[in-house]
Structure 1
Amino acid sequence: MAPKPVVILAKEKDYFDVRGAEEAFGRLRRLYKLLGAEENVKLHVGPTGHGYSIENREAMYQWFNTVTGVSDVKTEPKLVIEKEEDLYAAPKGQVSELNSRTVFSFTAATARQLEDARRVKPGALAKRVRDALDLPTSDSAPDYRILRPVTGRKYPKPFATAYALETEKPAVAVVYRLDDQQHLSRPPKNTGGATVYVSHHSADAELRDEPLLTELVKAEPKTVFYACDVRGVGESRPDTCGGTNQFLTAYGSDYFYAAHGVMLDRPYVGQKTFDVLRVLEWLKTVGHKEVHLVAKGWGAIPATFAALLSGLVTRVTLKNALASYSDVARAEQYVWPLSCFVPGVLRSFDLPDCYAALAAKQLRLIDPWGADGKPK
């Protein structure tokens, strides 16, 4: 864009902090100065609150007219409100009367076309998944901190040691290691197998309330059991969007971090998959040679991708996993959040392709969920 003319319009009393606009302007001005066009960038801060008020509109008129030279007008003329019927896009104002189609119908049709055309060759799926998720590389196990021990939570075992793994600075995954005895230090070396659970919303809550976890611990009491909150979930859930109850709101932290991931071309679910892969790398340093990867709901999606990509995973159990992305694309209404989606995924693969590949790792699917969040 630089050195093309740009004006930043901000508001002094906006709930979007004006200091952000000032900081952005300062950085842009330095860049434009290096390009010999410092006069091509400007900041205007209007005196009122959020909105495109007359002060900011007139600042835009003046900037546009100065840059283009089409007019010397600096104030807004008296506005004429058009008659409603003059603005109709259809004879009676309703396009539904023209036998029109909804946006959802186009999306569903495209999903069907992609499904019919999509072919995933054997051995190509892992690369497609890695490319779609834009996964970074790692050459060492993550560093970690030992947190305070957990007791009295009514977990399937009486004690738990919590670890904060620095999967990708500053992102942290919180991992609980269950034990029959109190353990206050690093994980003891263990060359046996391990079970790792990736939570839906909270490992802490689900260790207390999810029957599947109690079932797994009782079935294999000698197997070391870990439960994990990837970034943005459970103990690593940020409260950056207006309080502790904002997580599932329309503009809560889960949505905003997912939106940022789309804008930066790093899907949020890919970042969470990377967390799971880093946890698995950490378990290698402990000595574990095989892992039974278990997940539920939202956690089942990054767990699916991680299981596909990690040779350490030998068994997979998924409860309430999304049946397919095609189901969401074909549904007029769905409950799965943006943080679970991979942009453009249906051009490359779908979740059933991953599930089919994981049959080689003893995949167990329990009550898969459809687009509406209900068992199919």
Structure 2
Amino acid sequence: MKKLILLCLIFSIGHVYAYSASLTNFNGIHKNNNSVVDSLPDVFAKNHADFLESKLRNEAIIKFGTHQLPDNPEDWVKYRTNLRKTIIQKTGLVVNHSLPLDIKETGSIQMKGYRIKNIAFQTRPGVYATANLYIPDGKGPFPAVITMPGHWRKAKFDPEGPQHLGHSLALDGYVCLSIDPWGSGERTTVHGAFDYHGTSLGASLLNVGESLAGFQISDNIRGIDLLSSLPYVDPKNIGATGASGGGNQTMWLAAMDERVKAAVPVVSVGTFESYVMRSNCICELLPDGLTFTEEAGIIALIAPRAIMMCNHKQDSAPAFLPFEMQRTVSNALPVFKMLGVEKNITYQVFDKTHGYWPENREAMLGWFDLHLKGIGTGMPKKESAFELLPEEKLLVYPIGKRNPGVQTTAEFCEKRGKELRTAFLSSGNLDALEKQKELRAILRINERSELKKAHQFASLSGWDRFALETSDNKLIPILHLAPSDPKLGYMIISNTSGKKGISAELISELKRKGRGIVIVELSGTGESTSSKEIANNKSMVLHTLSRSELWLGKTILGEWVKELNVVTDFLKSNYKAQKLSIDGNKEAGIAALFLAATGGNVDDIIMRDAPLSYQFDSGGSLDFFSMAIHLPGFLNWGDVSLAAGLSGKQIRIVNPVSMSGQKISGNSLNEYQTEFAKMRTKLKRQGETVFN
């Protein structure tokens, strides 16, 4: 209590009352009260369309229509050079051909006509990938194929798909490298627990300036390095193939590494437009991709080399349906024609479900025979019978005895995050204006969202109801209750669960104090939720929306900052609001902080259950925050303490947590208090951050 009294003395008398009312009296208020929840009316008409999906799909459709490839060789050379550079920048792709492969062989299996080696090899300094290497009997040199398993649960040796490819290719005279994708197979968080490499785990790479797609491309380029180094491989005849996520990797690898002579992506090529508000993995995300290219541009990068796409009529993923693939082929084909290699791009459509089926493998064998062996016509070839092996024979390391060099996503993010935070905290003076500018760039706030029209509806249960129509075609639903005295100002409340997540006690206390109340449901929450997001949401909250915004060059948090800014502008212009506070939980609290840090019109902030740092930790739950929390390159920029310092505002963080939702207290909390205070001093900004 003494601390709060001393804090209040810093401010003017008028400010003291407002600050104590808004920040002091609501500590620990988290529980819902159904009577209050039931009394909060909806704003939009019932059975309204999916505003969010419609908006983002329309943006993606426009992007598709505006991305066109050059129609002459001179411009094409410039375009492809710039496109490759941009892909490297956006994905964090690392290419290091001089790094020693340091191949470690842990086992060998002799099969009839070929043998299999269980190996690990170095893909980045100190980072190793696990793989199976299938080698035909004989001296060679043999053509070779790298296979990328995609999302099969057991990756390289999954008996449902990837393992088939190794046996089939080896029996047909190809060396085959089947590599575990980053975060999959033997590269999962717990060795032997074959979990999914996407959602918040894979997205955590974004916070340290990396991407799951970039890691996979880097790994696969090193796979080509490995194949090219083997004396029994013909380095001039190397192919690539995979299905679903593995087909996606096939496309990216062939586009970025010209040593891939022929590629066969299966059930994976569609359009980037079709990825928006559809169900895809974070490993298939090219950050900001639709701001500078479409999938046709990536396919065209493979020219003049050969590519055959296989898509299925019964595919459950709309983005990979034959129609979407054909749209991309029609736009990439002119580049192949321009280079005189029209026959090097083709596709086949099968009446199959999602998968890499025998019919696909036979089409693949015929295509590779033509382009890697120079035999046949490219038509499907009957595959030889083979025997599948149990997983224990194809493991590089016995379960629980994995080499530490096989880093997991969690290990990498934690290590890299600590390195970035150490560098950030030891930095000298900071240019506040420059850091604000950089934060806006990270949030992808490229332009301000303006209030276009405030649609007012009949009041219900004492609440004024508005839908704020914005200049960027959004509708923001808000509930409004005027203050008893204009001097008391407004508390803007935003909850990631929508208005039903707001506590009864908070509303009651604000009413008792006479504060004005505005309840806003940000994009993806409450009435602003997308029905498509809910339908697709089988793995992570805001999974679909997060990826879609990033494809379009935006972030959820950046959009929320813009929406909160529209709300504050509305209150200032329509109600002459003299003081504006924001109370937000989890990511909504972070959005409020970023609004203040980028110069938004807010006086003080309450953040509930918010992270004190973007440092990765695995002690709690990776699902504590939604996918909205992740920001490309945030820890390369700074951390939450820097944003708090930039704000120059009064901030109270109630129940501070880590990125996995673990409560921060004791010595750890003291260290963060010191960090936040030092950052204010370094930036020469006013205000204070208080923790409860």
- What residue in structure 1 maps to residue 394 of structure 2? 87
Structure-2 change in CA distance of 1:160 and 1:41 (3 Å)? farther
1:121 aligns with 2:427: no
Question: How many residue pairs get matched?
Answer: 349
Normalised TM-score (structure 2): 0.45
Give 1 or 2 for the bigger CA radius of gyration.
Answer: 2
Structure-2 change in CA distance of 1:332 and 1:200 (3 Å)? closer
Q: Decide whether the 8 Å contact of 2:436 with 2:646 is kept in 1.
A: no
Q: 2:511 is paired with a residue of what secondary structure? A: helix
Give me the whole-angstrom Cα distance separating, in 2, the residues matched to 1:356 and 1:127. Answer: 14
Structure-2 change in CA distance of 1:191 and 1:21 (3 Å)? farther
Deviation at 1:235, TM superposition (A): 0.6
Q: Decide whether the 8 Å contact of 1:289 with 1:312 is kept in 2.
A: no
RMSD: 3.3
- What residue in structure 1 maps to residue 635 of structure 2? 346
Identify which of 650, 654, 658 aligns with 1:370: 658
Which range is displaced more, 308-317 or 109-118? 308-317
Deviation at 1:346, TM superposition (A): 1.0
- What residue in structure 1 maps to residue 559 of structure 2? 271
Q: 1:363 is paired with a residue of what secondary structure? A: strand
Q: Decide whether the 8 Å contact of 2:450 with 2:470 is kept in 1.
A: no
Contiguous gaps of at least 5 residues in structure 2: 1-297, 665-692
Deviation at 1:342, TM superposition (A): 0.8
Deviation at 1:79, TM superposition (A): 2.7
Q: Percent identity?
A: 17
Which range is displaced more, 9-18 or 233-242? 9-18
Identify which of 398, 401, 408 aligns with 1:96: 401
Identify which of 441, 444, 447 aligns with 1:134: 444
Alignment-mate amino acid for residue 652 of structure 2: R
- What residue in structure 1 maps to residue 466 of structure 2? 162
Q: Decide whether the 8 Å contact of 2:313 with 2:321 is kept in 1.
A: no
1:168-200 CA-partner distances (Å, limit 9, x unpaired): 33x43322222599xxxxxxxx89843322222
- What residue in structure 2 maps to residue 218 of structure 1? 512
1:296 aligns with 2:585: yes
- What residue in structure 1 maps to residue 524 of structure 2? 232
1:186-229 CA-partner distances (Å, limit 9, x unpaired): xxxx89843322222102x145x34234323332x2x4321111
Q: After superposition, where does 1:46-195 map in structure 2 within 5 Å?
A: 46-68=350-372, 70-72=374-376, 74-82=381-389, 86-90=393-397, 93-94=398-399, 96=401, 98=403, 103=408, 104-118=410-424, 119=427, 121-123=430-432, 124-138=434-448, 141-144=450-453, 146=455, 148-149=457-458, 151-152=460-461, 158-166=462-470, 168-169=472-473, 171-179=474-482, 193-195=489-491
Contiguous gaps of at least 5 residues in structure 1: 153-157, 182-189
Q: Decide whether the 8 Å contact of 2:533 with 2:543 is kept in 1.
A: no
Give me the whole-angstrom Cα distance separating, in 1, the residues matched to 2:617 and 2:345. Answer: 41
Identify which of 495, 498, 505 aligns with 1:202: 498
Give me the whole-angstrom Cα distance separating, in 2, the residues matched to 1:99 and 1:30. Answer: 45
Normalised TM-score (structure 1): 0.79
Structure-2 change in CA distance of 1:149 and 1:51 (3 Å)? farther
Give me the whole-angstrom Cα distance separating, in 2, the residues matched to 1:363 and 1:242. Answer: 33
Structure-2 change in CA distance of 1:83 and 1:240 (3 Å)? closer
Q: Decide whether the 8 Å contact of 2:510 with 2:516 is kept in 1.
A: no
1:291-319 CA-partner distances (Å, limit 9, x unpaired): 21221122112111112113421221222
Deviation at 1:33, TM superposition (A): 2.6
Q: Decide whether the 8 Å contact of 1:8 with 1:21 is kept in 2.
A: no
Q: 1:117 is paired with a residue of what secondary structure? A: helix
1:28-49 CA-partner distances (Å, limit 9, x unpaired): 3144236635544433221121
